């Protein structure tokens, strides 16, 4: 009886602990949505109206941009999967030199801001980029990649195929080889065995990765804004931004936002459903050894690893390389130089943007952890409805969240403090679901017997939470905090809509430098941003290894 009463008190404690966090997230998330709803359904002269929605759905342009948004997201997802599946097969089944390097690519999308992807593609694939420079030296004419539909798909694949690679490879590693071994013993060829046995068992991971990547590509903004190169590649998010900030059609932007949310909600629900299917994965035997590759497979591993590294690291390394190149004279050859870094650090605007970005990211990291950790504790024992509710912010793009907070800002007298506060709140809403998705699986891995023993021995629920569960979550909390920091410091979409001269962040300055064709300055600032993100994750991984050791 004592044990059952302690467990009941535990449930009450987690409910009380998570309620303030849930209420805060609800307020931060629903307040901008409520403003968007009011803008979509309330007429300028007062009263409820459906005219904006009627006008939206009677306009062929709406269906054109919706169709293009869905099509580019679908193609981007398919290309990402095609790039990821061979790598997932290699990581899951073979032991080879450089395996850790290939596996490290899976962290790239979570570390790097999307504005760096855009800049890397401009420097690497542009008309004067490294690829075309090399082709010119070989006597081959330049190829046009940027500002095409292909550039959009390539950039999305670059940013998202590591997500599929990591999810599918991890799931595949934990599949028992027993069924395929039996199939081989019975004479089935390897291809048939893969199609009929392995592939159906991999589907939860493939579908989970697909829905997540589709969602990211559906709500993509800066890649379309810069690499799209014109109105024919307009998506819902770009159109929302155009109507809100350029045409000042706030009602039309609000109506489009509702359409975007409705489609994204569907894919969030699908993603969570596939995630739950992944959680019921069969258990592989404890000792499963990876095969040593045959000579032909070694060649395939080498080629795949080389191409993957060039595809992912090429644009990033080109940013660093270009940041250290400057002409010795006005029309001279490019040589090694620190000129662009000197110009950056002599510019007060750049220094202020760095300080602003670091301050916002630090506050967002603490805020999102304070919101997500209690929610993870509650969701450890709760069902589907509450988890779906906690993940709802993923269904709303950062463009729409920024637009909602922009509408809130129009209700008050704008100033530096208000602008800074709204950017921080928007970033917390954007980062919290990703922090929660990092914490929750690790929380669920903690054996409930630890909690039961602590409670049975007389510790209070609060003491158990502080002294048993939180120490076991130390590594996950550090990783989640690093994700929150990286998401905030690289957040571009909401900040572009919300920010002003007093809350200019590093990604906004980079965007302005790119638009003014100051690519060298953008590369120098991008290198600083890139190294900062990698440094944060390096510190986190070092601390995790020390705590595990």
pLDDT at 218: 94
pLDDT(394) > 50: yes
Residue 431: exposure state from Cβ atoms within 10 A (0-12, 13-18, ≥19): buried
For residue 245, which of 541, 496, 518 has the smallest C-alpha distance?
496
pLDDT above 80: residue 463: no
pLDDT, residue 284, reads 52
- Count other Cβ atoms within 10 Å, centred on residue 202: 19
Report the top-level CATH class of 50-281+305-323.
mainly alpha
Residue 276 has a pLDDT of: 75
State the pLDDT confidence band at 428, using cuts at 50, 70 and 90: very high
- DSSP state letters, 348-392: HHHHHHHHHHHHHHHHHHHHHHHHHHHHHHHHTT--HHHHHHHTG
- CB-based contact 382:19 (threshold 8 Å): no
Sequence-distant (≥ 6) Cβ neighbours of residue 507 within 8 angstroms: 113, 115, 357, 490, 491, 492, 495, 529
| DSSP three-state, residue 326 | strand
Q: How far apart are CA 66 and CA 389, in angstroms?
A: 25
Q: Each residue of 127-170: pLDDT tens digit?
A: 888 888 888 888 777 788 888 898 999 999 998 998 899 889 98
Dihedrals phi, psi of 148, to nearest 5 degrees: -130, 170
Q: Which helix (H) or strand (E) holds 327?
A: strand 325-327
Which has the higher per-residue pLDDT, 424 or 387?
A: 424
pTM of the predicted protein model: 0.87
- Whether 287 shows a pLDDT value over 50: the answer reads no
* 77/436: higher pLDDT: 77
pLDDT at 373 over 90: no
Half-sphere exposure (Cβ direction) of 23: Cα atoms closer than 13 Å = 6
- Hey, where are the domains in the chain? 1-33+337-549, 50-281+305-323
User: 109 or 209, which is more confident?
Assistant: 209
Give the per-residue pLDDT at 509. 93
pLDDT on residue 544: 64
- Tracing tokens 């569960």 back to the chain, one arrives at 469
What's the pLDDT band for 383 if we cut at 50, 70, 90?
A: low
How confident is the model at residue 542, as a pLDDT?
74
Q: What is the pLDDT of residue 11?
A: 64
Rg of the chain in Å (alpha carbons): 25
Q: What is the pLDDT of residues 154-212, one digit of tens each?
A: 999 998 998 899 889 988 888 877 777 677 676 777 777 777 888 888 898 999 999 99
pLDDT at 1 over 50: no
| Residue 491: band (very low, low, confident or very high) from pLDDT cuts 50, 70, 90 | very high
CA 341-343-349 angle, to 5 degrees, is: 105
Quick: pLDDT tens for 217-226: 999 999 998 8
Mean pLDDT in residue range 462-466: 75
The CB-side HSE value for 305 (13 A sphere, CA atoms) comes to 17
Non-local (6+) Cβ contacts of 386 within 8 A are: 378, 379
Task: DSSP letter for 331, please.
Answer: T
Helices and strands (H, E) in the chain, number of each type: 27, 2
Across the chain, mean pLDDT equals: 84
The pLDDT value given to residue 502: 74
Work out the pLDDT band at 2, boundaries 50, 70, 90.
very low
**Residue 449: pLDDT over 90:** no
Lowest mean pLDDT among 38-52, 243-257, 475-489: 38-52
541's tokens: 């991984």
Q: Give the pLDDT confidence score for residue 366 in this predicted structure.
A: 95
* Whether pLDDT at 253 is above 70: yes
Q: Quick check: 458 pLDDT over 80?
A: no
For residue 142, with 0-12 CB atoms within 10 Å meaning exposed, 13-18 middle and 19 or more buried, which class applies?
middle
State residue 9's pLDDT score.
57
pLDDT of residue 60: 92
Query: Using 50, 70 and 90 to split pLDDT, how confident is the model at 401?
Result: very high
Q: Which residue has the higher pLDDT, 144 or 81?
A: 81
Q: What is the pLDDT of residues 493-512, one digit of tens each?
A: 999 988 777 788 999 999 99
Distance CA 124, CA 131 (A): 6
Helices (H), 380-492: 384-390, 398-409, 416-445, 448-456, 461-464, 470-472, 474-489
Least confident of 18-27, 429-438, 487-496: 18-27
3-state DSSP assignment of residue 49: coil
Topology agreement, domain 1-33+337-549 and domain 50-281+305-323: yes
pLDDT of the residue at 237: 93
**Running DSSP on this structure, what letter comes out for residue 126?**
S
Confidence tier at 27 by pLDDT (50, 70, 90): confident
Q: How many residues does the chain have?
A: 549
1.10.3720.10, 3.40.228.10, 2.20.25.90, 1.10.1040.50: which CATH number matches 1-33+337-549? 1.10.3720.10
């Amino acid at each position: 009886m004592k044990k059952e009463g302690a467990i009941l008190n535990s449930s009450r404690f987690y409910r009380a602990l998570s309620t303030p966090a849930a209420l805060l997230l609800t307020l931060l998330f629903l307040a901008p949505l409520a403003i968007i709803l009011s803008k979509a359904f309330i007429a300028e002269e007062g009263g409820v109206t459906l005219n904006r929605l009627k006008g939206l759905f009677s306009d062929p342009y709406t269906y054109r941009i919706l169709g293009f948004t869905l099509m580019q997201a679908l193609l981007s997802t398919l290309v990402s999967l095609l790039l990821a599946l061979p790598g997932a097969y290699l990581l899951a089944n073979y032991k080879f030199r450089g395996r850790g390097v290939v596996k490290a690519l899976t962290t790239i999308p979570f570390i790097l801001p999307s504005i760096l992807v855009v800049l890397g593609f401009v420097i690497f694939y542009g008309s004067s980029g490294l690829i075309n420079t090399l082709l010119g030296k070989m006597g081959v004419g330049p190829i046009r990649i940027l500002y095409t539909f292909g550039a959009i798909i390539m950039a999305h694949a670059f940013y998202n195929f590591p997500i599929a690679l990591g999810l599918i490879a991890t799931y595949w590693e934990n599949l028992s080889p027993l069924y395929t071994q039996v199939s081989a013993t019975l004479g089935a060829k390897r291809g048939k065995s893969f199609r009929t046995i392995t592939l159906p068992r991999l589907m939860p991971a493939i579908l989970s990765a697909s829905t997540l990547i589709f969602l990211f590509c559906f709500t993509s903004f800066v890649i379309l804004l810069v690499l799209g190169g014109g109105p024919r590649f307009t998506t819902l998010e770009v159109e929302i931004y155009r109507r809100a900030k350029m045409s000042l059609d706030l009602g039309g932007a609000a109506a489009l936002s509702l359409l975007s949310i409705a489609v994204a909600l569907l894919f969030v629900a699908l993603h969570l459903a596939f995630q739950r299917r992944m959680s019921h994965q069969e258990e592989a035997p404890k000792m499963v050894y990876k095969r040593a590759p045959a000579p032909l497979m070694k060649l395939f591993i080498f080629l795949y690893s080389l191409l993957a590294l060039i595809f992912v690291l090429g644009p990033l390394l080109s940013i660093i390389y270009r940041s250290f190149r400057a002409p010795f004279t006005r029309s001279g050859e490019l040589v090694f130089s620190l000129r662009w870094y000197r110009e950056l650090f002599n510019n007060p605007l750049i220094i202020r943007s760095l300080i602003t970005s670091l301050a916002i990211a630090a506050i967002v990291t603490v805020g999102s952890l304070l919101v997500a950790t209690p929610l993870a504790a509650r969701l450890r024992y709760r069902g589907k409805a509450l988890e779906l509710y906690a993940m709802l912010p993923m269904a709303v793009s950062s463009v729409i969240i920024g637009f909602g907070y922009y509408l809130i800002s129009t209700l008050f007298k704008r100033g530096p403090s208000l602008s800074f506060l709204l950017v921080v709140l928007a970033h917390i809403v954007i980062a919290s679901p990703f922090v929660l998705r990092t914490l929750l699986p690790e929380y669920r891995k903690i054996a409930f017997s630890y909690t039961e023993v602590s409670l049975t021995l007389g510790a209070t629920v609060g003491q158990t939470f502080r002294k048993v569960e939180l120490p076991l979550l130390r590594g996950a909390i550090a990783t989640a905090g690093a994700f929150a920091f990286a998401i905030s410091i690289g957040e571009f979409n909401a900040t572009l809509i919300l920010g002003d001269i007093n809350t200019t962040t590093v990604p906004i300055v980079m965007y302005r430098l790119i638009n003014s064709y100051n690519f060298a300055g953008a590369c120098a600032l991008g290198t600083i941003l890139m190294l900062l993100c990698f440094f944060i994750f390096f510190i986190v991984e070092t601390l995790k290894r020390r705590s595990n050791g």
